[in-house]
């Protein structure tokens, strides 16, 4: 058994007993890790016992047993570096951050490191203190799909392979892995209609940065498209999808089109 030290962000937390927590941490160099933090909520005379909070960033020490990756690791030390207080003051920002954490938790594997994605998630949490939260979330989700190798192909039709660069109406299909043109669309069952401008905004997101000139309509439609694609990929809607949609003025999620 060896002790590992890494930087980590809390993706999920579950109170396990009076004094313990089970955590899903996204670590920078060891990917997602599930661990138990025994006694973490035990307070002292001067400090209240609250444990480790969702979306905290810190340095973690945990025991790792090679060959026993399916067993919960044991958290031995947690030093908080940042708890992003702006997320706790504003519900849309909080939900945007939680949506990002939930998507990361579903779409990355345990023990599969993605340092660039970790850095992007850290940027998202910091940047959410200002600007349009959905614009920052769009850029993060696009980075997430790129990093895990599931980025949809949006430059050409997945069926007839023609370029769709100048099309105004385009369809996206998760099962086809990208765009479907108007001509091929009738034959594809699982799809969502969108506009060329939305795809162009999305593909221009090469980094998680705050853009003060983000076009609100494209930002919202891009989120709906990403949420659709992630729902189809994961196989169910994310828990945070509906609360985030209602807070940001988006209509309820349409029922998937199945024939
Ligand atoms: Zn086509």
**Domain locations along the chain:** 2-83, 97-247
pLDDT(143) > 70: yes
| 147 CA → ligand 1 middle, Å | 26
pLDDT(159) > 60: yes
**Token code pair at residue 228:** 């659709």
| 231 CA → ligand 1 middle, Å | 23
DSSP 65: -
CATH number of the 97-247 domain: 1.20.1440.120
- Residue with token string 């160099």: 29
In this prediction, residue 9 has a pLDDT band, given cuts at 50, 70 and 90, of very high
| 189 CA → ligand 1 middle, Å | 14
| 195 CA → ligand 1 middle, Å | 15
- pLDDT tens digit sequence for 161-171: 999 999 999 99
- pLDDT tens digit sequence for 199-234: 999 999 888 888 788 899 999 999 999 999 999 999
Please state the three-class secondary structure of 201-233 as a single string.
HHHCCCCCCCCCCCCHHHHHHHHHHHHHHHHHH
pLDDT recorded at residue 46: 54
pLDDT recorded at residue 120: 97
User: How is domain 2-83 classified at the CATH fold level?
Assistant: OB fold (Dihydrolipoamide Acetyltransferase, E2P) (2.40.50)
* DSSP sequence for 84-123: -GGGGT-HHHHHHHHHHHHHHHHHS-BT---HHHHHHHHH
Spatial separation of the C-alpha atoms in residues 20 and 4, rounded to whole Å: 20
| 253 CA → ligand 1 middle, Å | 26
Q: 64: buried, middle or exposed (CB in 10 Å: 19+, 13-18, 0-12)?
A: middle
In this prediction, residue 183 has a pLDDT band, given cuts at 50, 70 and 90, of very high
Helix (H, G, I), strand (E, B) or coil at 146: helix
| 232 CA → ligand 1 middle, Å | 21
| 164 CA → ligand 1 middle, Å | 8
């Amino acid at each position: 058994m060896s002790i590992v030290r890494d930087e980590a962000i809390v993706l999920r937390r579950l109170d396990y007993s009076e004094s313990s927590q089970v955590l899903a941490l996204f670590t920078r160099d060891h990917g997602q890790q599930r661990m138990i933090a025994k006694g973490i909520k035990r307070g002292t005379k001067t400090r209240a016992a609250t444990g480790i909070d969702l979306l905290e960033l810190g340095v973690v020490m945990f025991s790792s047993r090679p060959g026993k990756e399916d067993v919960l690791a044991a958290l031995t030390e947690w030093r908080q570096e940042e708890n992003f207080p702006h997320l706790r003051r504003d519900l849309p920002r909080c939900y945007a951050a939680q949506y990002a954490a939930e998507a990361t938790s579903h779409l990355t594997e345990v023990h599969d490191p993605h340092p660039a994605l970790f850095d992007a998630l850290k940027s998202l949490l910091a940047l959410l203190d200002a600007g349009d939260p959905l614009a920052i979330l769009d850029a993060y989700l696009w980075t997430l799909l790129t990093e895990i190798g599931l980025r949809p192909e949006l430059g050409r039709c997945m069926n007839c392979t023609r370029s769709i660069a100048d099309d105004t109406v385009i369809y996206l299909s998760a099962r086809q892995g990208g765009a479907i043109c108007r001509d091929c669309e009738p034959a594809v069952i699982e799809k969502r209609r969108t506009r060329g401008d939305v795809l162009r905004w999305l593909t221009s997101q090469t980094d998680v940065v705050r853009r003060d000139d983000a076009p609100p309509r494209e930002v919202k439609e891009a989120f709906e498209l990403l949420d659709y694609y992630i729902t189809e990929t994961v196989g169910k809607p994310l828990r945070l999808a509906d609360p985030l949609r209602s807070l940001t003025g988006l209509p309820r999620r349409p029922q998937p089109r199945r024939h």
